[in-house]
Amino acid sequence: MRARGLVDYHLHTRRCGHAAGELEDYVRRARRLGLSEIGFSDHFPLLHIQDPSLSMALDELPDYVREVKDLAARVSRPRIRLGIEVDYVAERIRELTEILDDYPFDYVTGSVHFLEGWGFDDPRNLDGYRGRDLFSLWELYFQVLGDAAECGLFDLLAHPDLIKKFGFRPRGSMRRIYEECLDRVAAADVVVEVSTAGLRKPAGEIYPGEEFLRLCRERDIPVTLGSDAHDPREVGQDFHLAVEVLERVGYREIVSFERRQRSFLPLRNAGAKRD
Ligand code: ZN
Ligand code: FE
Ligand code: FE
Ligand code: ZN
């Protein structure tokens, strides 16, 4: 297991209504794997729809923050960071900024789960793929991802090619679309998450795919790691595969966040030791 010394910045909690386990269970699992740092990044309350199976309610946010900060004060191994996964919804940026500014987040993760109001990564909404032109769907997704990078709210972009989740892929090269998106991500200086969650989904591969990651590397876009665990057993899952692809495309370090400041941890020293 090559998770030792690494970070897992994408953990959910039962508050979101679709995850299992107590915070302590996630911590125990992380400690067993030898992760040096974990970050809780539960789903920020959705402002445009109310669905208790998707996120906590807005009035729970202070409790979430307190719970993670208390844990961070008690636990030193692994270090615990306070994150939050926020849906990019263009009309809500100002409102989101005001709310997020009130809390001591170590990092804010941006996710694109909605395109024109359609929750495309929700298995309940699979119908939406029917009859769609996949090329223009991907084009739209990566435009919106670029918008998310530029909106100024986010330190980190989660599961950057989530649009592949259910395995609906356009024919032909996506390279130009990736490049246009990543030029914007690089200019906005936002970190990209390498997420092992895609391996557990029909897509069957890490988010992002290797070509996308290579294009990140060419632009010197920093990266970090996440499992998107919704169960303690998923913490650090398949991180050896993430380290493998990161090294192959030339990454040597990953980002650590504290109070929205970055530092870097070496990938090799971290990953090379075995437990
Ligand atoms: Zn979730
Ligand atoms: Fe997500
Ligand atoms: Fe998530
Ligand atoms: Zn996620």
How far apart are the CA of 193 and the centre of ligand 4, in A?
10
Whole-angstrom distance, CA of residue 267 vs CA of residue 3: 10
How far apart are the CA of 197 and the centre of ligand 1, in A?
11
How far apart are the CA of 18 and the centre of ligand 2, in A?
12
Q: For 186-221, how does the pLDDT look when each residue is reduced to its tens digit (9 = 90+)?
A: 999 999 999 999 999 999 999 999 999 999 999 999
Overall domain count for the chain = 1
| Within a domain: 48 | yes
pTM of the model: 0.95
Per-residue confidence (pLDDT) for residue 275, from 0 to 100 = 42
| Within a domain: 143 | yes
| Model confidence at 230: pLDDT above 90 | yes
How far apart are the CA of 131 and the centre of ligand 2, in A?
24
DSSP state of 60: G
| Within a domain: 156 | yes
How far apart are the CA of 275 and the centre of ligand 3, in A?
27
How far apart are the CA of 10 and the centre of ligand 3, in A?
6
Q: For 87-130, how does the pLDDT look when each residue is reduced to its tens digit (9 = 90+)?
A: 999 999 999 999 999 999 999 999 999 999 999 999 999 999 99
Q: What is the band of 51 on the pLDDT scale with cuts at 50, 70, 90?
A: confident
Average of pLDDT values for 55-70? Answer: 95
How far apart are the CA of 273 and the centre of ligand 1, in A?
31
Q: Is 150 left (phi over 0), alpha (psi -120 to 50) or beta?
A: alpha
Per-residue confidence (pLDDT) for residue 272, from 0 to 100 = 45
**Torsion angle, alpha carbons of 236, 212, 41, 37, to 10:** 40
How far apart are the CA of 43 and the centre of ligand 1, in A?
6
Average of pLDDT values for 17-34? Answer: 96
| Within a domain: 177 | yes
| Within a domain: 191 | yes
Proximal ligand: closest to the CA of 18 = 1
Which CATH number fits the domain that encloses residue 170? 3.20.20.140
| Within a domain: 2 | no
| Within a domain: 274 | no
Q: What is the band of 47 on the pLDDT scale with cuts at 50, 70, 90?
A: confident
How far apart are the CA of 104 and the centre of ligand 2, in A?
21
| Burial (CB count within 10 angstroms: exposed 0-12, middle 13-18, buried 19+), residue 25 | middle
Q: Which residue has the higher pLDDT, 220 or 272?
A: 220
How far apart are the CA of 227 and the centre of ligand 3, in A?
8
Range of the domain at 136: 7-266
| Within a domain: 273 | no
Whole-angstrom distance, CA of residue 199 vs CA of residue 107: 24
Average of pLDDT values for 44-60? Answer: 87
How far apart are the CA of 110 and the centre of ligand 1, in A?
13
Q: For 146-179, how does the pLDDT look when each residue is reduced to its tens digit (9 = 90+)?
A: 999 999 999 999 999 999 999 999 999 999 999 9
